[in-house]
């Protein structure tokens, strides 16, 4: 029997769209070895829409550096949610090439983790007669803005009730929405070292609270200036900074670490062991982003969120504050004030139980199971029963 072909479409802006797709792919391959051909593609680059690809990716870097531009763009989409024709003009080349690519590949299932990819897949179905079921995962865990609310999707998967309600508010029928766990790679939870071992390898000072500071793969953010202030004040903390691919930020933190301070600073660049770093820390610090926040939740670590690019990030901040599982510190004054509170004995003790009470679970296996059934049947599947055993894929 030939393998069913699953086409997973994403755009590699940051890591928040690629990581969930890869997590689901690996879960499908582990659950059903040899049954599927699964391609995770950086869609615009893959189809040769290089100018549009550059615009999208440079636009994301611009949004991180100048968040106001992203917020205006978000509000524009929401105000024009009944008429998305402007997208056809802005991304004309990408849309045309993307639709043709889908039609040529003839997948048995399309899975999108970026709203623009979902839009193109939906148009390919409507205009080119593509028959493959289209499923999207809303990787913004508490949002469901207008571009995600695509009626051409067979199913739209979400992590929370907040996202479900946002999609319904945008006109999506509740029957098209399925709540699942958030897809994160299962290997993320396979940490073989103890927190004490990891801390010793990093050279952390025992008995002090440890902050893990990250600004995503781009390493762009004001949080690093906050670290400089904490270092100057010599707060009794361990701070591990992750600069991602930003060599300038890494060098900046390395120079800071050379200075004398009671604050123990460990500067890192691009890392592949964020799971170990989160396990060894007490608090995760950085921009409000889905991947960082969900990883912290799954490891039962509180967060300090220092900035947000657009409103889907703002929903994350609101969730953290409403559920008392973190802090929002947009200024150096609020950041330092929070650090002074959390170094007090017992200040961090309540957070693990609060985060556990949220009941949020990882969902790569659950999503993989749903997609596998849909790819085989060729039509939308009934809601997944989390208590049931894995389906028998024939």
Low-confidence ranges of the chain (pLDDT < 70): 1, 217-220, 378-394
Fold match flag (4-184+362-377 vs 193-357): yes
The torsion angles phi and psi of 103, rounded to 5 degrees, stand at -65, -40
Whether residue 124 contacts residue 98, with contact meaning beta carbons closer than 8 Å, is answered with yes
Whether residue 364 contacts residue 378, with contact meaning beta carbons closer than 8 Å, is answered with no
For residues 193 and 199, what is the distance between their CA atoms, to the nearest angstrom?
10
pLDDT, one tens digit per residue, over 141-150 is: 999 999 999 9
CB atoms within 10 A of CB 185: 18
How is residue 393 written in tokens? Answer: 């894929």
| R_g of the chain, CA atoms, integer Å | 21
Helix, strand, or coil (residue 312) = helix
Q: List C-alpha distances in Å: 255 to 6, 204, 233, 338.
A: 47, 18, 16, 25
Q: Exposure of 5 by Cβ count < 10 A (0-12 exposed, 13-18 middle, 19+ buried)?
A: middle
Return the half-sphere exposure (C-beta side, CA atoms, 13 A cut-off) of residue 192.
1
Helix, strand, or coil (residue 284) = strand
Angle at CA of residue 373, ends 371 and 379, nearest 5°: 90
Chain-wide mean pLDDT for the chain? Answer: 91
The angle that helices 332-342 and 223-232 make with each other, rounded to 10 degrees, is 60
Residue 393, pLDDT score = 40
Residue 261, pLDDT score = 95
Give 146's contacts (C-beta < 8 A, 6+ positions apart).
77, 78, 80, 81, 84, 170
If you search the block for the tokens 């699953």, which residue do you land on?
A: 6
CATH architecture of 193-357: 3-Layer(aba) Sandwich (3.40)
For residues 193 and 252, what is the distance between their CA atoms, to the nearest angstrom?
29
Whether residue 202 contacts residue 231, with contact meaning beta carbons closer than 8 Å, is answered with no
The angle that helices 92-105 and 50-65 make with each other, rounded to 10 degrees, is 120
Helix, strand, or coil (residue 262) = coil
4-184+362-377, CATH topology level: Rossmann fold (3.40.50)
The torsion angles phi and psi of 159, rounded to 5 degrees, stand at -95, -20
Whether residue 38 contacts residue 29, with contact meaning beta carbons closer than 8 Å, is answered with yes
For residues 197 and 19, what is the distance between their CA atoms, to the nearest angstrom?
27
For residues 335 and 4, what is the distance between their CA atoms, to the nearest angstrom?
51
Residue 219, pLDDT score = 57
If you search the block for the tokens 């100018």, which residue do you land on?
A: 51
* Closest listed residue to residue 215, CA positions, set 270, 135, 139: 270
Whether residue 283 contacts residue 304, with contact meaning beta carbons closer than 8 Å, is answered with yes
How is residue 27 written in tokens? Answer: 């879960």
Tell me the domain boundaries of the chain. Answer: 4-184+362-377, 193-357
């Amino acid at each position: 029997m030939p393998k069913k072909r699953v086409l997973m479409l994403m755009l590699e802006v940051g890591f928040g769209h690629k990581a969930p797709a890869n997590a689901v792919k690996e879960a499908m391959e582990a659950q059903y070895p040899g049954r599927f051909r699964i391609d995770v593609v950086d869609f615009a680059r893959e189809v040769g829409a290089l100018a549009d690809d550059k615009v999208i990716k440079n636009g994301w870097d611009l949004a991180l550096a100048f968040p106001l531009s992203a917020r205006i763009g978000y509000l524009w989409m929401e105000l024009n949610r009944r008429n998305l024709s402007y997208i056809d003009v802005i991304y004309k080349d990408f849309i045309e090439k993307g639709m043709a690519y889908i039609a040529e590949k003839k997948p048995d299932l399309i899975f999108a983790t970026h709203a623009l990819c979902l839009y193109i897949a939906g148009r390919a179905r409507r205009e080119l007669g593509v028959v493959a079921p289209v499923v999207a995962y809303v990787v913004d865990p508490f949002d469901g803005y207008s571009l995600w609310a695509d009626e051409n999707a067979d199913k739209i998967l979400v992590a929370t009730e907040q996202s479900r309600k946002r999609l319904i508010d945008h006109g999506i029928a509740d029957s098209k929405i399925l709540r699942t766990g958030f897809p994160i790679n299962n290997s993320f939870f396979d940490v073989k070292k103890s927190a004490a071992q990891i801390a010793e390898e990093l050279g952390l000072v025992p008995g002090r609270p440890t902050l893990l500071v990250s600004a995503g793969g781009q390493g762009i953010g004001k949080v690093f200036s906050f670290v400089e202030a904490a270092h100057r004040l010599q707060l009794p903390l361990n701070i591990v900074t992750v600069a991602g691919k930003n060599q300038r930020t890494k060098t900046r933190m390395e120079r800071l670490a050379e200075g004398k301070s009671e604050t123990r600073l460990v500067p890192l660049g691009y890392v592949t062991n964020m799971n170990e770093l989160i396990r060894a820390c007490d608090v995760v610090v950085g921009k409000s982003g889905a991947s960082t926040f969900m990883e912290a939740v799954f490891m039962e670590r509180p967060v300090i969120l220092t900035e947000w690019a657009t409103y889907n990030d703002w929903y994350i901040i609101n969730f953290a504050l409403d559920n008392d599982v973190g802090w929002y510190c947009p200024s150096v004054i609020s950041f330092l004030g929070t650090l002074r509170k959390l170094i007090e004995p017992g200040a961090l003790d309540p957070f693990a139980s609060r985060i556990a009470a949220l009941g949020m679970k990882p969902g790569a296996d659950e999503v993989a199971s749903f997609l596998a059934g849909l790819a085989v049947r060729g039509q939308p599947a009934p809601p997944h029963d989390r208590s049931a055993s894995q389906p028998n894929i024939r």
